[in-house]
Amino acid sequence: MSLQAKIEAVIYASEEPVTLQQLVILLGDEAGAELDRIASDQGTLLLGSSDEAVEPVAMEALAGDAVKAAGVEPPPDEYSRDSEPETEAKDGVVADVSDTSAEGTDAVAGAVTDLVPGEAVEGVEPANTNGSDAEKRKLRERERAVRDHIRRAVDRLIRDYAEGDRGIEIREVASGFRMATKPEFHDAVRGFVKSLKPALKLTLPALETLAVVAYKQPVTAAELSEIRGVDSAGVLGGLLARKLIATAGRKQVIGRPM
């Protein structure tokens, strides 16, 4: 069953408007699985379409390997490391790191020892070892994506009901969604309601007996008569005939009454 069909079933079965948050809590796992499946399908399509883009890079790598195998040195670049000595600076100390002599090595070592232990190098951000913020941000993005996906499914369902030849539509009321008949079928619904049989009427003893059964159920006829103070056998027969009450077995006492 698709996510849209489940949303339709929930809205249909609910007597009160179903909010978007309730749908997210109830169908969040299904929506997340559907999002993962869609992302996986898109990744497969992108991987299949990127073969041609990978081929020129592979050819360039093969050409570089062929040049190295032939023993041909690449032409010097005027901006390469060989064109001018590379220097490092910190707190006014400059050293030529391309110099392999003893003097060059000592200069670099002196520049390094001038640094204060624990001092942050200018322009370099300290590494964030705490990944809780990233995890929380990822979780919020995931929840937002699931909520948006369910909202889009509800919008499609509303559009299908509105455009299709149906007598029911989905309305957004009280910050939720519920099914209702379309206004153009109001006359048909009114005619159906008027054709219904009148409401079932009960006598006062029948209402009293029914109230006792509803409160004390399961209850025996003797217990009913004791509570009401009169014999309730005739009233119970009428309620049973109208299928307002039913027997629920026998009580595990002497005589095992119904």
**Mean pLDDT of all residues in 30-54:** 76
Residue from 40, 39, 9, 41 nearest 26 by CA: 9
**Mean pLDDT of all residues in 13-17:** 89
Residue 180 pairs in a beta bridge with 169
**Per-residue pLDDT, 74:** 53
Whether pLDDT at 199 is above 90: no
Q: What's the pLDDT tens digit per position in 159-175?
A: 999 988 889 999 998 78
Residue 168 pairs in a beta bridge with 181
Mean pLDDT of the chain: 76
User: Is 113 buried (19+), middle (13-18) or exposed (0-12) by CB count in 10 A?
Assistant: exposed
pTM greater than the 0.75 cutoff: no
Q: What's the pLDDT tens digit per position in 89-119?
A: 444 444 444 444 555 555 544 544 454 444 4
Report helix, strand or coil for 90.
strand
**Mean pLDDT of all residues in 73-83:** 49
Sheet holding 168-173, edge to edge: 18-19, 176-181, 168-173
**Per-residue pLDDT, 173:** 87
Whether pLDDT at 176 is above 60: yes
CB 187 within 8 A of CB 207: no
